[in-house]
Protein backbone atom coordinates (compact mmCIF):
# COMPACT_ATOMS: atom_id res chain seq x y z
CA UNK A 1 0.00 0.00 0.00
CA UNK A 2 2.92 2.35 0.59
CA UNK A 3 3.86 2.07 -3.11
CA UNK A 4 0.26 2.78 -4.10
CA UNK A 5 0.29 5.85 -1.86
CA UNK A 6 3.49 7.05 -3.57
CA UNK A 7 1.75 6.68 -6.96
CA UNK A 8 -1.26 8.59 -5.56
CA UNK A 9 0.98 11.43 -4.40
CA UNK A 10 2.61 11.57 -7.85
CA UNK A 11 -0.85 11.75 -9.43
CA UNK A 12 -1.78 14.62 -7.11
CA UNK A 13 1.43 16.45 -8.01
CA UNK A 14 0.34 16.18 -11.66
CA UNK A 15 -3.09 17.62 -10.84
CA UNK A 16 -4.88 14.27 -10.95
CA UNK A 17 -7.11 12.87 -8.22
CA UNK A 18 -4.67 11.15 -5.84
CA UNK A 19 -5.38 7.48 -6.34
CA UNK A 20 -2.58 4.98 -6.83
CA UNK A 21 -2.50 1.29 -7.62
CA UNK A 22 0.03 -1.52 -7.63
CA UNK A 23 -0.18 -5.09 -8.89
CA UNK A 24 2.02 -7.69 -7.29
CA UNK A 25 2.54 -11.40 -7.55
CA UNK A 26 1.84 -12.77 -4.08
CA UNK A 27 3.78 -15.97 -4.88
CA UNK A 28 7.04 -14.06 -5.38
CA UNK A 29 6.33 -10.68 -3.79
CA UNK A 30 7.38 -9.03 -7.07
CA UNK A 31 5.77 -5.70 -7.92
CA UNK A 32 4.66 -6.06 -11.54
CA UNK A 33 3.28 -2.56 -12.12
CA UNK A 34 2.45 0.76 -10.49
CA UNK A 35 0.20 3.58 -11.70
CA UNK A 36 -1.59 6.68 -10.54
CA UNK A 37 -4.80 8.23 -11.79
CA UNK A 38 -4.37 9.88 -15.18
CA UNK A 39 -7.66 10.80 -16.88
CA UNK A 40 -6.80 14.49 -17.24
CA UNK A 41 -3.35 14.06 -18.78
CA UNK A 42 -4.42 11.13 -20.96
CA UNK A 43 -7.70 12.77 -22.02
CA UNK A 44 -9.18 9.39 -21.14
CA UNK A 45 -12.05 8.92 -18.69
CA UNK A 46 -11.00 5.29 -18.21
CA UNK A 47 -7.45 6.15 -17.08
CA UNK A 48 -8.10 5.32 -13.44
CA UNK A 49 -5.11 3.97 -11.51
CA UNK A 50 -6.55 0.43 -11.46
CA UNK A 51 -7.15 0.36 -15.22
CA UNK A 52 -3.72 1.84 -15.96
CA UNK A 53 -1.86 -0.70 -13.84
CA UNK A 54 -3.88 -3.62 -15.24
CA UNK A 55 -3.04 -2.45 -18.78
CA UNK A 56 0.66 -2.26 -17.86
CA UNK A 57 0.81 -5.72 -16.35
CA UNK A 58 -1.35 -7.34 -19.04
CA UNK A 59 0.94 -5.92 -21.76
CA UNK A 60 4.03 -7.05 -19.86
CA UNK A 61 2.63 -10.57 -19.47
CA UNK A 62 1.08 -10.76 -22.92
CA UNK A 63 -2.22 -11.83 -21.39
CA UNK A 64 -5.29 -9.91 -20.26
CA UNK A 65 -5.97 -12.51 -17.57
CA UNK A 66 -4.21 -11.51 -14.36
CA UNK A 67 -5.30 -14.52 -12.34
CA UNK A 68 -3.74 -15.01 -8.91
CA UNK A 69 -2.28 -11.50 -8.80
CA UNK A 70 -3.05 -8.90 -6.13
CA UNK A 71 -4.22 -5.39 -6.92
CA UNK A 72 -3.54 -2.84 -4.19
CA UNK A 73 -5.31 0.51 -4.57
CA UNK A 74 -5.64 3.50 -2.28
CA UNK A 75 -9.40 3.96 -2.85
CA UNK A 76 -12.31 1.54 -3.11
CA UNK A 77 -12.71 0.74 -6.83
CA UNK A 78 -15.59 2.26 -8.79
CA UNK A 79 -18.00 0.19 -10.90
CA UNK A 80 -15.89 0.55 -14.05
CA UNK A 81 -12.75 -0.61 -12.29
CA UNK A 82 -14.57 -3.42 -10.47
CA UNK A 83 -15.84 -4.67 -13.83
CA UNK A 84 -12.34 -4.60 -15.30
CA UNK A 85 -10.94 -6.35 -12.20
CA UNK A 86 -13.52 -9.11 -12.67
CA UNK A 87 -12.75 -9.47 -16.39
CA UNK A 88 -9.01 -9.61 -15.66
CA UNK A 89 -9.59 -12.33 -13.06
CA UNK A 90 -7.53 -10.52 -10.41
CA UNK A 91 -7.16 -12.88 -7.46
CA UNK A 92 -7.23 -10.36 -4.64
CA UNK A 93 -8.05 -6.68 -4.21
CA UNK A 94 -6.68 -4.70 -1.28
CA UNK A 95 -7.91 -1.14 -0.92
CA UNK A 96 -7.35 1.74 1.45
CA UNK A 97 -10.16 4.25 1.91
CA UNK A 98 -13.80 3.42 1.33
CA UNK A 99 -15.65 5.59 -1.19
CA UNK A 100 -19.27 6.07 -0.13
CA UNK A 101 -20.06 8.16 -3.25
CA UNK A 102 -18.28 6.32 -6.05
CA UNK A 103 -17.17 2.98 -4.62
CA UNK A 104 -18.63 -0.22 -6.00
CA UNK A 105 -17.14 -2.91 -3.79
CA UNK A 106 -18.58 -2.28 -0.32
CA UNK A 107 -20.74 0.67 -1.41
CA UNK A 108 -23.09 1.36 -4.30
CA UNK A 109 -23.68 -1.66 -6.51
CA UNK A 110 -21.37 -3.95 -4.52
CA UNK A 111 -20.22 -5.29 -7.87
CA UNK A 112 -18.55 -8.50 -6.73
CA UNK A 113 -21.67 -9.57 -4.80
CA UNK A 114 -23.91 -9.42 -7.88
CA UNK A 115 -25.07 -12.72 -9.40
CA UNK A 116 -24.05 -11.45 -12.84
CA UNK A 117 -20.42 -11.00 -11.74
CA UNK A 118 -18.38 -13.72 -13.45
CA UNK A 119 -15.28 -13.53 -11.22
CA UNK A 120 -15.03 -12.47 -7.60
CA UNK A 121 -11.65 -11.64 -6.13
CA UNK A 122 -10.92 -11.88 -2.44
CA UNK A 123 -11.28 -8.35 -1.02
CA UNK A 124 -9.60 -6.67 1.92
CA UNK A 125 -10.49 -3.06 2.67
CA UNK A 126 -9.26 -0.48 5.12
CA UNK A 127 -5.50 -0.92 4.68
CA UNK A 128 -3.90 2.44 5.51
CA UNK A 129 -7.40 3.84 5.07
CA UNK A 130 -6.80 6.99 7.12
CA UNK A 131 -3.67 7.93 5.20
CA UNK A 132 -5.43 7.28 1.88
CA UNK A 133 -8.49 9.30 2.93
CA UNK A 134 -6.38 12.16 4.30
CA UNK A 135 -4.51 12.41 0.99
CA UNK A 136 -7.79 12.69 -0.93
CA UNK A 137 -9.35 15.15 1.52
CA UNK A 138 -6.27 17.36 1.49
CA UNK A 139 -6.17 17.36 -2.31
CA UNK A 140 -9.80 18.41 -2.68
CA UNK A 141 -9.62 20.91 0.16
CA UNK A 142 -6.66 22.60 -1.56
CA UNK A 143 -8.54 22.66 -4.89
CA UNK A 144 -11.47 24.39 -3.21
CA UNK A 145 -9.04 26.95 -1.80
CA UNK A 146 -9.50 25.99 1.83
CA UNK A 147 -6.60 25.45 4.18
CA UNK A 148 -5.57 21.89 4.85
Pairing of strands 70-75, 30-36: unpaired
Nearest to 5 by CA among 18, 15, 23: 18
Please enumerate in sequence order all residues whose Cβ is within 8 A of that of 78, keeping only pairs 6 or more positions apart, or say none.
48, 99, 102, 103, 104
Catalytically active residues, by annotation: 50
- Rounded to the nearest 10 degrees, the angle between the axes of helix 129-143 and helix 2-13 is 10
The C-alpha atoms of residue 73 and residue 81 are separated, in whole angstroms, by: 11
Q: In what order do the strands lie in the sheet with 92-97?
A: 30-36, 20-25, 70-75, 92-97, 122-124
Q: Check the annotation: does 107 bind a ligand.
A: no
Q: Check the annotation: does 48 bind a ligand.
A: yes
Binding residue numbers for Zn(2+): 48, 78, 81
Amino acid sequence: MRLALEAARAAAAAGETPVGAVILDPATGEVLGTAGNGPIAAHDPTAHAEIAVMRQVAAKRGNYRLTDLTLVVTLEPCAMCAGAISHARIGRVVFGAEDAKGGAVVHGPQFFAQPTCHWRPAVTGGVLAQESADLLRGFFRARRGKSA
